[in-house]
Structure 1
């Protein structure tokens, strides 16, 4: 539920600030008075006894980032004011309305470094004082802290666990703006926020096989995720096109599978990515897709792959070139998987207890070429596929991780997997419903709404004009409004919806790379970020409106640009400066 209480003292000048937080909190009350924050403000972490030192350091680094962002990377909001309006607040009496302390309180030391879904708690409370101090609230936690620290000139951030503090600090920085001359202020005081996410899995799926992404580009994606309160990076690290992952016990995989010498992620690179994400409240779930999408393995281990790069009629045996699947009913493949998971998974477990084994777009025709199968019959292939998955998942579990699969394994092939397996659905609402009906926990994210790569046209070459105008398979482009319209639990009963852990937006990289990823992903993905954090519907059970969302999304876009993300604008600047005048009339 979202509660917005706006003071009657709010002026028109400050009206546009009223809900300028993305994603919108569950409960948000604010006024219209100005408070300042500056370099003399003390940020203090009141940590519980017995807190894991690793978690303690994580929170302190989050505080340092929030302090830097709040004081040095603030937005001058001229784009959201009519031309010629002097929107800066007066600086008279600034000394008496400056926040002197920010108290950050973690309530519990009972926290694991990489919590499972059922252990997660990202809830928080945030209180910003007005010039007359913190207002009375119904929060017993806040009142206890006020008794300890005081009511005047103190902001409070309270959360049970570190994940909540990290999310709260992100919200805190969005409450402030830069004065055009000097200083940082919030025009919203006093503020009282109680917040928690609707879904525990709020993800971005990044394909790093079809194009090469330097580590810095991946870290930039993580930054954008954190600012939009995503908490899972789905690291689709390998595919048919390349194998950019170093596996020390199998060095030939990256040496022969990368696009060019050195274009791979070393074990140190992977650790850096996981640690960088962890510091920002994000867990990274690696995917090594199988048994399809594995022809890059054949560059190092050709005997493990069937149907390697069949040309020119690859369309008979693959969704896209190059073709190639891991063989089924093959002990050498099983030994390879055991060695692979024994090498890779243990290094990831400190940061995340989940691992994705893929399973999409398995082509039955390719198994006519597999000497262990020699059939394209679904009934013949299925038991071999079950054996393959059992072996792979047993190896994943033995190393401490819970497996993910794509929906086809349980819905198209009918493989009866244990219910600890998490199913990722991408083909639509019926897929989500089908998986939860079978009792699986599900990650949603249909291509019809949450594929960020769609609408760029075909990337294949053609010998004739029969495919004109060369549209891609999933076009048109999914604009932010289409992304904002999607509900991961659409059409489900309350009981079924409980099995939906959340969703992901997808970045398939046929036509996206390090240079275009910022403007392709942001701020569109942020629309899904609010759906996953706040829910598709408001406190009255109605779908949130575009007119409410667009100014807030536009503002987070401007903040992201300030923070170094080359996000695209969502509408023309005139619309931002003339609030409400770009609404399409109900009767045109």
Structure 2
């Protein structure tokens, strides 16, 4: 559009007036636009000047803290006044809180504590996240190399989370010549891409810093060399996590700091170190599950046991049997679709975690199974939502599969095939607990079938026979789906009690997960029979215990009281066996899991109920230390702070004063 263009056509006086008027309006609009731009620029410049003035004012008014932290023998890091004498033996070589925490104890702030060779320096160097460089990743396959690159990106993310929001993006105060180049080299031997019980998770971490001096003009900056070697990617990932824990943000220095030198050779005490998360009773969102996996990776926990379905809801979207989630999910938004599960499996693998699916049967079913008769397949599940529920199941709503309906096995086959397609696990959990015989005992179809088998007493043995029939046919469908005979996990139940597990179950196929108390005689019986065991005794490792009653009149739920981290830490699977006067065989005790059943937990509350207690579980299963919780208390308290720093909503353990004054927050025993 040409503002000054004049037409050559003859104009009337009115046309001339209109043309001049239009030109005048356009010029006014142009001037107004320029004015607004100038005003806007003025405010931007003013805001920048104001912000800079605030920064300068903050710098000029910021006063040096009167406090320092001394490493005190028999205590740990203790807050002391800079202008007062310190106690004899106090060490002030690293007087900031972060510096003291990293160097005061032999294990630094590492969690879980390494169980093998460990040598850590007492000196520190400051750095900026951009100083970290990957020199080389040596791996036998491109897939393993890709996983390692992703694990390094997780490390960078963790470091960024360590820096307060107000400091991110700002220039840190570490002077350029003092800041080292941090060169990381990772070497992996095996091409294994999936975590199995036989996977070697050991690693070696070597850190060495060479400081720049006048004698080394070719290297004007210091160099910190980091070498991580491991048999498998999963061991290397653990080494990367350990590296992240010898680093910290130092508020006083306004910079990241790390140990100058370290030498660690480490490996886990148990191959199975897990958490069970129930997402049926209450739905847990995919982003929250990712946060749980994040926290597991910080603790070197390696099994996410996913209790996907139960009688309350069926959120698993089965490609082959879509009616299950259609009928059984709480809503179309509260489901786990195949793409969700694939994403979670990869996310977990990068973080050293294996997702083990559980499909619990024949009990713990109900919602989602109502469509059988409508589809002409008969009753797939019996006594669904039947009352009074106390007669037919352990909690409402009730339901149990119909073992004598052949159609149930084709449906189960489809579920197992879907799970095979989605999960990458060397074990499969078939549940199998809390089977109440009352419903089967009242079902004519069941009683008639038992008669054909020559069983007319309706005795406990008759129903154990029926249960075993179901278990064997279901197992055959699992084997067909997976095209192999991989290990199967079952809960302790009526099939395993009274010392007759070997009558019903093959110890070469079945791993038994213990959920009774840690003193239950069935543990010793199963152990003597040669079964491999996973410990989840509810009196120490059920994290839903100790909350209010949700059915009935009692003030607390069934497994109260609340289980503190100290009891979690002291629950040693190896000692449980020794307490039965048995000789401990590490090949039989695979490890353990803590469980969070979700009657009273969902996405908004689950993190605080899991952490930091899951961290106590993690050190027990990684290190299995001979020492008690008291020896771990200072590191544990600090690790909780680190979890929060990394975005995990972990419950507080003590007042923050205790974290700043190690060793002063406990009662002396009489």
* Residue in structure 1 matched with residue 249 of structure 2 by the alignment: 178
Query: For the structure 1 residues 558 and 37, does the alpha-carbon distance in structure 2 shift closer, same or farther, using more than 3 Å as the test?
Result: same
- 1:308 aligns to 2:384 (yes or no): yes
* Residue in structure 1 matched with residue 646 of structure 2 by the alignment: 563
- 1:388 aligns to 2:470 (yes or no): yes
1-structure distance, mates of 2:360, 2:174? 61
* Residue in structure 2 matched with residue 438 of structure 1 by the alignment: 529
CA contact (8 A) 1:364 1:376 kept: no
Higher RCO by CA contacts (8 Å cutoff, separation 6 or greater): 1
2-structure distance, mates of 1:481, 1:363? 35
CA contact (8 A) 2:314 2:325 kept: yes
1-structure distance, mates of 2:435, 2:634? 43
1-structure distance, mates of 2:572, 2:426? 27
2-structure distance, mates of 1:439, 1:297? 37
Q: Which runs of 4+ in 1 moved over 6 A?
A: 6-10, 90-94
- 1:258 aligns to 2:329 (yes or no): yes
* Residue in structure 2 matched with residue 126 of structure 1 by the alignment: 205
CA contact (8 A) 2:173 2:254 kept: no
Q: How far did residue 11 of structure 1 move? A: 4.0
1-structure distance, mates of 2:231, 2:127? 25
Query: For the structure 1 residues 153 and 512, does the alpha-carbon distance in structure 2 shift closer, same or farther, using more than 3 Å as the test?
Result: same
* Residue in structure 1 matched with residue 619 of structure 2 by the alignment: 530
Q: How far did residue 22 of structure 1 move? A: 0.7
Q: How far did residue 184 of structure 1 move? A: 1.1
Larger radius of gyration: 2
2-structure distance, mates of 1:263, 1:425? 30
* Residue in structure 2 matched with residue 364 of structure 1 by the alignment: 437
CA contact (8 A) 1:436 1:496 kept: no
- 1:544 aligns to 2:620 (yes or no): no
1-structure distance, mates of 2:659, 2:418? 52
Number of positions where the alignment pairs a residue of Structure 1 with one of Structure 2: 531
* Residue in structure 1 matched with residue 347 of structure 2 by the alignment: 276
CA contact (8 A) 1:123 1:195 kept: yes
- 1:501-520 residue CA offsets vs partner (Å, 9 max, x unmatched): 11001010000110001111
Q: How far did residue 198 of structure 1 move? A: 0.5
- The 3-state SS of whatever aligns with 2:123 is strand
CA contact (8 A) 2:386 2:397 kept: yes
1:500 to 589, 595, 603: 589
1-structure distance, mates of 2:446, 2:637? 54
2:180 to 89, 98, 102: 98
1:288 to 350, 354, 359: 359
* Residue in structure 2 matched with residue 491 of structure 1 by the alignment: 577
Deviates more, 1:296-305 or 1:199-208: 296-305
Q: How far did residue 62 of structure 1 move? A: 0.1
Q: In the TM superposition, what are the counterparts of 1:17-166 in structure 2 within 5 Å?
A: 17=102, 18=105, 19-26=108-115, 27-38=117-128, 39-48=130-139, 51-74=140-163, 95-96=177-178, 98-106=180-188, 108=189, 110-118=190-198, 120-131=199-210, 153-166=224-237
Deviates more, 1:449-458 or 1:414-423: 414-423
Q: How far did residue 408 of structure 1 move? A: 1.2
2-structure distance, mates of 1:263, 1:170? 33
2-structure distance, mates of 1:223, 1:346? 24
2-structure distance, mates of 1:395, 1:111? 31
Q: In the TM superposition, what are the counterparts of 1:379-418 in structure 2 within 5 Å?
A: 379-400=461-482, 401-408=486-493, 410-412=495-497, 414=501, 415-418=504-507
- The 3-state SS of whatever aligns with 1:164 is helix
CA contact (8 A) 1:23 1:228 kept: yes
1-structure distance, mates of 2:174, 2:294? 36
Q: How does the TM-score come out when normalised to structure 2?
A: 0.75
CA contact (8 A) 2:532 2:590 kept: yes
Q: How far did residue 585 of structure 1 move? A: 1.0
1-structure distance, mates of 2:556, 2:161? 44
Query: For the structure 1 residues 576 and 495, does the alpha-carbon distance in structure 2 shift closer, same or farther, using more than 3 Å as the test?
Result: closer
- The 3-state SS of whatever aligns with 1:102 is strand
2-structure distance, mates of 1:408, 1:371? 25
1-structure distance, mates of 2:548, 2:279? 20
CA contact (8 A) 1:329 1:387 kept: no
Q: In the TM superposition, what are the counterparts of 1:514-525 in structure 2 within 5 Å?
A: 514-525=603-614
2-structure distance, mates of 1:300, 1:534? 49
CA contact (8 A) 2:658 2:664 kept: yes
Q: How far did residue 175 of structure 1 move? A: 0.7
* Residue in structure 1 matched with residue 86 of structure 2 by the alignment: none
Q: How far did residue 72 of structure 1 move? A: 4.8
Q: How far did residue 438 of structure 1 move? A: 1.9
- The 3-state SS of whatever aligns with 1:241 is coil
CA contact (8 A) 1:30 1:190 kept: yes
CA contact (8 A) 1:314 1:323 kept: yes
Q: How does the TM-score come out when normalised to structure 1?
A: 0.85
Q: How far did residue 496 of structure 1 move? A: 3.5
Q: How far did residue 164 of structure 1 move? A: 0.8
* Residue in structure 2 matched with residue 329 of structure 1 by the alignment: 404
2-structure distance, mates of 1:370, 1:112? 49
1-structure distance, mates of 2:302, 2:177? 38
* Residue in structure 1 matched with residue 291 of structure 2 by the alignment: 220
Structure 2, unaligned runs of 5 or more: 1-75, 77-88, 166-171, 213-221, 374-378, 448-456
Q: How far did residue 395 of structure 1 move? A: 1.7
2-structure distance, mates of 1:266, 1:545? 41
Q: How far did residue 392 of structure 1 move? A: 1.2
2-structure distance, mates of 1:103, 1:554? 31
